[in-house]
Structure 1
Amino acid sequence: MTDKSTDTPTPPQAEDPAPSRAEQSATSSIGRGVTSPFDSPTEQFARVDASGRPQLGKDVPRTDDELGLDPEVPTTAETKAVPTYDYASIPPAAAPPSDTRRLRRRTAENRRGTLDLGLFLLRLVVGGTFLYHGLQKLTGWFHGPGLDGTREMMEQGGWDHPTLSTMLVTAGEVGGGALLILGLATPLAAGAVLAVILDAWAWKQGMAPGFQYKAGPGAVELESILAGTAVVIILTGPGRYSFDIKRGWATRPHLGSFTVLLLAIAAAAGAYWYLHGGNPFTGIGPFD
């Protein structure tokens, strides 16, 4: 007879329940890491802290780079449609010119010093002188002959058309002198007085043979000075103290002023030939 075993039979142990899907996912995620929040996002909160709130692990993405998302880049059409600037809402200013030598030259040209004042005084003297003589002929002021006396003087001086000559010389002196003082239409005004004074120079010089600059009945000293100053005003312009300030010839006369000079000389020669005639250079060198 065999002895009955005193060992109590061990009941079969219950098999461990199969792990849940969440536990399997959490366990597998520890080894491979989370690559996207869309891979079982609820399993990222499998861990909880002491207060029962979910605790994120180190492998939970927190930025766009970790999530693998591309930043929003504007399209080419958008960048062309709406221009943007880094530091201002308006376009940046143009870069300064690199040619500093040219800039310095322009700055130096604007430094005229007392040039404009000198031209203003020159216009006052020359214009005032012509206006004075013109008013003598036009109104008889300043002990002048008036229109009748001027016509008689022109007739006795050998002018073929004394009335027309009187009108031209009076208009040239009064109108040209007044415009010179104002600095208005300066090239034309200076050209008018130049033509008048050149004819006066030729008339007086032709009174006697030989060149008479200071002495004699045909002394032309005053006429020479006035003609020279009229030429200077044509070539230099009236300056900034004038009504021609906005005109190019006021401060930078060029080919136009030189053309006016030539036309004034031609007008004086034509008027003298038509209204008086004769050779004003008689007895001077080769002009015998």
Structure 2
Amino acid sequence: MAEATIRNSIFYDITHFGIRITIGAIFIAHSLGKFEPGFAENLPNMGLPAEMQIPIALAELVPGILLIIGGLTRISASLLSIVMLGAIFVAKGAQSFAGRGGVEFETLILSGCLLLIVIGPGRISISHILKKVPRVLQ
């Protein structure tokens, strides 16, 4: 009974929306630097070809936007989880959890993405709004 009350609460919806916006905004902001030439120059140091610059940048930008609007949330969070695993194991080499070269930030963002995969888009999302639109061709 208490769980149903919490799930129908506006605070649940706002919190859910806040998680999506925060993670989406972080990925959008982080992706913008990846469109600059300096990022492509660093990719070979990580064992990746420089041609991966645009796909990597888009893999953060597009799902980040989709998280904010609440469209394809689970798919977007899944793609961003893969990006974070790449950041943890390829870019940082999972050297340590905290300190220099630590992956604590990446792990936190990964856990947020995994949370969104489980709970979905929520009621403050384009997905929820589209569910409410009457089907014209049924």
- Per-residue deviation, residues 131-184 of structure 1 (Å, max 9, x unmatched): 00111222xxxxxxx1x211111112222x2312x2221011100111101101
TM-score normalised over the length of structure 2? 0.83
How far apart, in 2, do the equivalents of 1:198 and 1:111 lie?
Answer: 30
Structure 2 counterpart of 1:214, one-letter code: A
Count of residue pairs brought into register by the alignment:
128
Cα shift at 1:109: 6.8
How far apart, in 1, do the equivalents of 2:103 and 2:69 lie?
Answer: 27
Aligned residue number for residue 152 of structure 1: 41
Structure 2 counterpart of 1:178, one-letter code: I
- Where do 5+ consecutive residues of structure 2 fail to align? 132-138
Aligned residue number for residue 163 of structure 1: 51
Answering whether residue 106 of structure 2 is matched by residue 223 of structure 1, we say: yes
> For the Cα contact (< 8 Å) 2:87–2:106, is it kept in 1?
yes
Q: Which runs of 4+ in 1 moved over 3 A?
A: 108-111
Aligned match of 1:134 in 12, 31, 43?
Answer: 31
Aligned ranges for residues 113-124 of structure 1 at < 5 Å? Answer: 113=9, 114-124=11-21
Aligned ranges for residues 28-107 of structure 1 at < 5 Å? Answer: none
TM-score normalised over the length of structure 1? 0.41
Which one has a larger percent helix, Structure 1 or Structure 2?
2
Aligned residue number for residue 127 of structure 2: 244
How far apart, in 2, do the equivalents of 1:171 and 1:247 lie?
Answer: 25
Structure 2 counterpart of 1:234, one-letter code: I
How far apart, in 1, do the equivalents of 2:7 and 2:91 lie?
Answer: 43
> For the Cα contact (< 8 Å) 2:41–2:50, is it kept in 1?
yes
Answering whether residue 116 of structure 2 is matched by residue 233 of structure 1, we say: yes
- Where do 5+ consecutive residues of structure 1 fail to align? 1-104, 139-145, 249-288
Decide whether aligned partners of structure 1 residues 203 and 111 sit closer, same or farther in structure 2, where only a CA change above 3 A counts. closer
SS where residue 13 of structure 2 aligns? helix
> For the Cα contact (< 8 Å) 1:131–1:177, is it kept in 2?
yes
Q: Relative CO higher for 1 or 2, CA cutoff 8 Å, sep ≥ 6? A: 2
Answering whether residue 14 of structure 2 is matched by residue 112 of structure 1, we say: no
Identity fraction in percent: 27
